[in-house]
Amino acid sequence: MTNLIDRHNSEPESTDMTITAPFIDFAVPGTIHVPARGRLALKLRKGQKMTITDVKGQQVMDMIAAMVDDPNERLSCMFSRVSSGKWDLNEGYTVYSTKCTPMLNVLHDDNGTHNMTGGYCSQWSNAIRYGTGKTFTCHDNLVGDWEELGLDVEKISPDMCISLFMNIAHHADGTMQIQEPTTKPGDRITFEAQEDLYIGLSNCPEEHNPCNAFHVTEMDVTIE
């Protein structure tokens, strides 16, 4: 596979905390290197496969999606759980839209631990949880993705976001806890597009909790 992007980024000096990777219109076969805190916007044709590889292990990638024919029809974690009858995404799982249309099938999954409850880190959630000022966030990255694709950023919602490789423990007393990912270097998940899709990816920049084991690293995205 051809490496289309291979770039590392340092902390920016400006207040613009979004790190970008070039937009690809209907993805061509190849491997895209997404740096730590980076993002990627692309379009998948029906039948194309997309593999996300955790290069160094213990890294989360947030993913949102919408239909090319009707971007108002978006990925839905809730309807995916209801339609599949499964709480967790794993090999053989189908990801559904807000109209319960199949969007993505999981062909391969090395790890099997993902967050299907929806949501992403944002300036607001970081401020209320950690008292932070301006930080890198998945929401900002996903907004950048949607802007590159020419889509309405106000339509981005927590329910349309799957946090791949994110490890959240749900306890018997009703509490939940973000824990370090269990992925090893090279662990991957492969999706097959069931429709033409817009895809937004954020290589999660969160370092205020164990989401990425307090050390964000690069990811690879391979299109076939």
pLDDT for the residue numbered 88 = 86
Q: Determine, yes or no, domain membership for 105.
A: yes
The number of helices, as runs of H, and strands, as runs of E, in the chain is: 3, 13
Average pLDDT over residues 196-215: 96
Look at residues 38, 26, 29, 25 and name the one whose alpha carbon lies nearest to residue 4.
29
Q: Determine, yes or no, domain membership for 29.
A: no
Mean pLDDT, rounded, of the chain: 89
Q: Determine, yes or no, domain membership for 184.
A: yes
> What is the bridge-based pairing of β-strands 49-54 and 102-109?
unpaired
pLDDT for the residue numbered 1 = 38
pLDDT for the residue numbered 158 = 97
Return the percentage of the chain with pLDDT > 90, whole number: 76
More confident call, 39 vs 6: 39
Average pLDDT over residues 22-47: 89
Q: Determine, yes or no, domain membership for 12.
A: no
pLDDT for the residue numbered 126 = 80
Average pLDDT over residues 134-141: 92
Average pLDDT over residues 186-207: 98
Per-residue confidence band for 27, with pLDDT thresholds at 50, 70 and 90: confident
pLDDT for the residue numbered 14 = 38
Residue numbers of the domain that contains 183: 36-223
Highest mean predicted confidence (pLDDT) among 35-39, 82-86, 166-170 = 35-39
Per-residue confidence band for 66, with pLDDT thresholds at 50, 70 and 90: very high
| Farthest-apart Cα atoms in the chain, separation | 49
Look at residues 45, 91, 78 and name the one whose alpha carbon lies nearest to residue 189.
91
The helix/strand/coil state of 155 is helix
Q: How far apart are CA 159 and CA 33, in angstroms?
A: 26
Q: Determine, yes or no, domain membership for 41.
A: yes
Per-residue confidence band for 18, with pLDDT thresholds at 50, 70 and 90: very low
Q: Determine, yes or no, domain membership for 175.
A: yes
Average pLDDT over residues 199-216: 95
Return the percentage of the chain with pLDDT > 70, whole number: 89
Number of domains making up the chain: 1
Is a pLDDT exceeding 50 seen at residue 10?
Answer: no
Average pLDDT over residues 169-187: 94
DSSP state of 97: B
| pTM, 2 dp | 0.88
Positive or negative, the CA dihedral 113, 86, 45, 40 is negative
Q: How far apart are CA 14 and CA 12, in angstroms?
A: 6
Q: Determine, yes or no, domain membership for 195.
A: yes
pLDDT for the residue numbered 3 = 36
Q: Determine, yes or no, domain membership for 2.
A: no
